[in-house]
Amino acid sequence: MIFEELDSEKGPISFLKEDDYIIQDKDSFFDLIYSASSDTIAVHSSHFPEHFFDLKTGFAGEIFQKITNYQKRFIVLGDYSNIPSKSFKDLIYETNKNGKVIFVETLAEAIRLLK
């Protein structure tokens, strides 16, 4: 896996730069966690399949549980203005307040929200 290692005022960030890597399941997410050199990992929303954004599948819940268990911070960069699911929009709002899992468009905005 190819990461760009970034320094920020809130600590180092491992930013996944490999365009064709898809987080298909919890095993591929484990690979991502173990390959990153920092406790904060950033990816683009395109690294997830569509079913991640459907809370009924439980996939996002599995990912969030692993983030909590392994005490990581996770940033998902993308444009979320067109997400039709109100429940996913509510999830984004709540997780962004928590500062451990962040869904925003820019890395600068994500760093501001990190806790």
Question: What confidence category does residue 19 fall into, taking pLDDT thresholds of 50, 70 and 90?
Answer: confident
| Averaged pLDDT, 91-101 | 94
pTM comes to 0.93
**Structural domains of the chain, count:** 1
The CATH number given to whatever domain includes residue 10 is 3.30.750
Taking all residues of the chain, what is their mean pLDDT, rounded to a whole number? 94
pLDDT of the residue at 18: 86
- How far is it, in rounded angstroms, from Cα 99 to Cα 93? 10
Whether 76 has a pLDDT exceeding 90, the answer reads: yes
Question: What confidence category does residue 104 fall into, taking pLDDT thresholds of 50, 70 and 90?
Answer: very high
pLDDT above 70: percentage of residues in the chain: 100
Return the SS3 of 74: strand
Whether 24 has a pLDDT exceeding 90, the answer reads: yes
Q: Which domain holds residue 88?
A: 3-113
- The dihedral built from the CA positions of residue 30, 35, 37 and 43, taken in this order, carries a sign that is negative
